[in-house]
Structure 1
């Protein structure tokens, strides 16, 4: 059976070695570029017998398309895997150099071990193994830049025409749960303009901070309204004011104030729709206060939801069960680029990867279990074969 032959080619030690090489290729964002990581990926893919194509998003920041087998066609669409080459800044608090990978006590430690160079290494090992046994299967891994900041990499990708994909597996860390639903996210900025005056006669001015406080109150109230209607796997959309900055000093009526706002989006909801809701709320909150406020959309990441009975989901659960791993089917509280893929290419999407986004990613001494890297690679191997052999997913 081709699945078993492919599984026999999966090398656990090679996954760890490849993940370690990717960690060594530091790609902090903001603060650096992803080019060194992309070069390491190209070397790994060359060894595995695949081919690569760079698409420059910005200087030294290329998206990388990795393919095994023939190019996808409408008659034979590919299974697409998705990852990103950047990592968040290392920050303080590490017990050793964050970009010097360490293997001890069954763990791989280093910035990116979980989010998400471990998952990429597991995906590549699976793709290489499957391609040796089933060279006729079209397989693709898209590795984007700038996922951790402004998502310019995935936005460059969706500026191209849609491709031919039967399914997308995002290798983000889910602790090997099968995530079938993910809210999107919109980052919004509000600039409030008032009129400065001496604090001894505040009525001569118009306080941008007071107006910003009214806007923040409207946001909090609308958040509660949304939460009151929560239901289903994803609950509801949410609002959060993450930062307020304004004013010049204690004795000056502030003439400016900026708010940075996070809005989690439900599947099918757009950042422009959230912006329109915010603008309507601002108009109500600021009426008669003598200030003006302008809102703009900084970044949008769409959400997605896949039916729990879809073959993509059931195949993932069965693949993990075959490895002795119980795979809960659940929603994700974070956001990821899978929503862009689901919307642009129109293909069912899940998130499944080694490591835990909550307890291991984005913190000092980031680490991932070696056993989970191996399990992920073996589950991906099963899925890449079985999804192509299941006619109902096409």
Structure 2
């Protein structure tokens, strides 16, 4: 039998094992395991994942990112090596807080009119359930293929899970030939994703009576000048936007400071979002911000009266999530498009405006990475009555099945 014939036979037999009702049941079990972040509640979802993995015949390994916050590796087939690399699928067990506005209990999953509703249905317990169904089906008929699903903790906040996992990784980093992130893309094939850096600016001034503000140094005024510099630099970057990802961006998400109306504020804090291009790091963004703040402080110093107090500022990098970009002609991308086409889905090849943990994998393992998953991240995730089409879950599982088989029968490249 030729490689192509073996691949097609494996795929056909695996597709026969993909069961929509089981995907919905597994996704529902994961939704019931309320794992809101913050709260360190991922353990309850990991226990459910371990039960599903055991049913499918997979091996599991927990590693702790923090107390009661485990990452979980689920492996099928032989261990991946440089000589026989595997396919890595990536997900996260935490969900954003349910919040208010739900029409029913957010952690009581329900299926109505072809939709599965519950917190995490889209982001991303539905995608994890679809991935596990595909991996179990492929492994059942082609047990020689090395497959892994990594489910991280704390993705929705500081990405401590993926960072702890990679820091402790003592295996050959080149053991994967591809990574598929099962985040919701509305079944589009996302080949490029900007990273993200969360930055903090602490401005220190001098308090004074508001009747003589010149005796003090207003931290809020200086912070406002920093925010104006950020807005100007954002416009500059957007004017030079090109390609799938466009450009990096700045956004001030929060400003807090001062003590009262009649006091010149001696402190003010800015929280800043910086979206990173794939070749940028959080340290790069921090250095750029530091240079901008130095420019602002120099301007204020030149304009101040002789002997007047001036503000100072400190910056911190709170979180970094790297971006990635995969060549749209890479076999990983063409495999994804072809798998979806076989399921009757004309999948566009796109860039993502959000960030995900795929950039960590692409950087550490040096493997091509895409994002492909059921549900719409902008229209359905992080909202009351979060829901995903059951048909999306099934289509995603079947597409993953075709890809997991096809990628490991591709000629070396």
TM-score class normalised by the smaller sequence: over 0.9
Q: Distance in 1 between matches of 2:145 and 2:258?
A: 60
Structure 1 residue aligned with 2:208: 197
Structure 1 residue aligned with 2:134: 126
Q: Distance in 1 between matches of 2:321 and 2:154?
A: 13
The answer to whether the aligner puts 1:249 opposite 2:260 as a matched pair is: yes
Residue deviations 1:251-296 (CA, integer Å, cap 9, x gap): 1000000000000000010000000000000000112160000011
Q: Distance in 2 between matches of 1:179 and 1:392?
A: 23
Q: Distance in 1 between matches of 2:293 and 2:316?
A: 12
The answer to whether the aligner puts 1:13 opposite 2:21 as a matched pair is: yes
The answer to whether the aligner puts 1:178 opposite 2:189 as a matched pair is: yes
Structure 2 residue aligned with 1:52: 60
CA displacement at 1:195 relative to structure 2 = 0.2
Task: Report the 3-state secondary structure (helix = DSSP H, G, I; strand = E; otherwise coil) of the residue aligned with 2:17.
Answer: coil
Residue deviations 1:107-154 (CA, integer Å, cap 9, x gap): 000000000000000000000000011000000000000000010001
- Taking structure 2 as the reference length, the TM-score comes to 0.94
Structure 1 residue aligned with 2:234: 223
CA displacement at 1:157 relative to structure 2 = 1.4
CA contact (8 A) 2:174 2:366 kept: no
- Which one of 392, 399, 405 corresponds to residue 379 of structure 1? 399
Residue deviations 1:131-181 (CA, integer Å, cap 9, x gap): 011000000000000000010001011212425100000000000000000
- Which one of 86, 108, 113 corresponds to residue 105 of structure 1? 113
Q: Distance in 2 between matches of 1:158 and 1:232?
A: 30
- Which one of 320, 343, 353 corresponds to residue 323 of structure 1? 343
CA contact (8 A) 1:311 1:392 kept: no
CA displacement at 1:70 relative to structure 2 = 0.3
Structure 1 residue aligned with 2:155: 147
CA contact (8 A) 1:79 1:140 kept: yes
Name segments (4+ residues, structure 1) moved above 4 Å.
Answer: none
Q: CA RMSD in A?
A: 0.7
Structure 1 residue aligned with 2:38: 30
Task: Report the 3-state secondary structure (helix = DSSP H, G, I; strand = E; otherwise coil) of the residue aligned with 1:120.
Answer: helix
Structure 2 residue aligned with 1:207: 218
Q: Distance in 1 between matches of 2:214 and 2:138?
A: 73
Task: Report the 3-state secondary structure (helix = DSSP H, G, I; strand = E; otherwise coil) of the residue aligned with 2:150.
Answer: strand
Structure 1 residue aligned with 2:5: none
Please list, as runs of the form range in 1=range in 2, the aligned pairs for 1:27-106 lying within 5 A after superposition: 27-106=35-114
Task: Report the 3-state secondary structure (helix = DSSP H, G, I; strand = E; otherwise coil) of the residue aligned with 1:141.
Answer: strand
Residue deviations 1:312-367 (CA, integer Å, cap 9, x gap): 00000000000001100000000000000000000000000000000000000000
Structure 1 residue aligned with 2:357: 337
Q: Distance in 2 between matches of 1:280 and 1:158?
A: 31
CA displacement at 1:392 relative to structure 2 = 3.0
CA contact (8 A) 1:206 1:291 kept: yes
Structure 2 residue aligned with 1:354: 374
CA contact (8 A) 1:72 1:138 kept: yes
Q: How many residue pairs are counted as aligned between the two chains?
A: 393
- Which one of 383, 391, 394 corresponds to residue 411 of structure 2? 391
Structure 1 residue aligned with 2:6: none
CA contact (8 A) 2:174 2:367 kept: no
CA contact (8 A) 1:183 1:333 kept: yes
Structure 1 residue aligned with 2:282: 271
Structure 2 residue aligned with 1:259: 270
The gaps in structure 1 that reach 5 residues or longer are none
Task: Report the 3-state secondary structure (helix = DSSP H, G, I; strand = E; otherwise coil) of the residue aligned with 2:338.
Answer: helix
Q: Distance in 2 between matches of 1:158 and 1:228?
A: 36
- Taking structure 1 as the reference length, the TM-score comes to 0.99
Q: Distance in 2 between matches of 1:158 and 1:236?
A: 28
Q: Distance in 2 between matches of 1:85 and 1:391?
A: 34
CA displacement at 1:304 relative to structure 2 = 0.2
The answer to whether the aligner puts 1:166 opposite 2:166 as a matched pair is: no
Q: Distance in 2 between matches of 1:337 and 1:379?
A: 21
Larger mean CA deviation between 155-164 and 319-328 belongs to 155-164
CA displacement at 1:31 relative to structure 2 = 2.6
CA contact (8 A) 1:31 1:89 kept: no
Task: Report the 3-state secondary structure (helix = DSSP H, G, I; strand = E; otherwise coil) of the residue aligned with 1:221.
Answer: helix
Q: Distance in 1 between matches of 2:158 and 2:119?
A: 20
Structure 2 residue aligned with 1:306: 326
Structure 2 residue aligned with 1:188: 199
Structure 2 residue aligned with 1:291: 311
CA contact (8 A) 2:40 2:68 kept: no
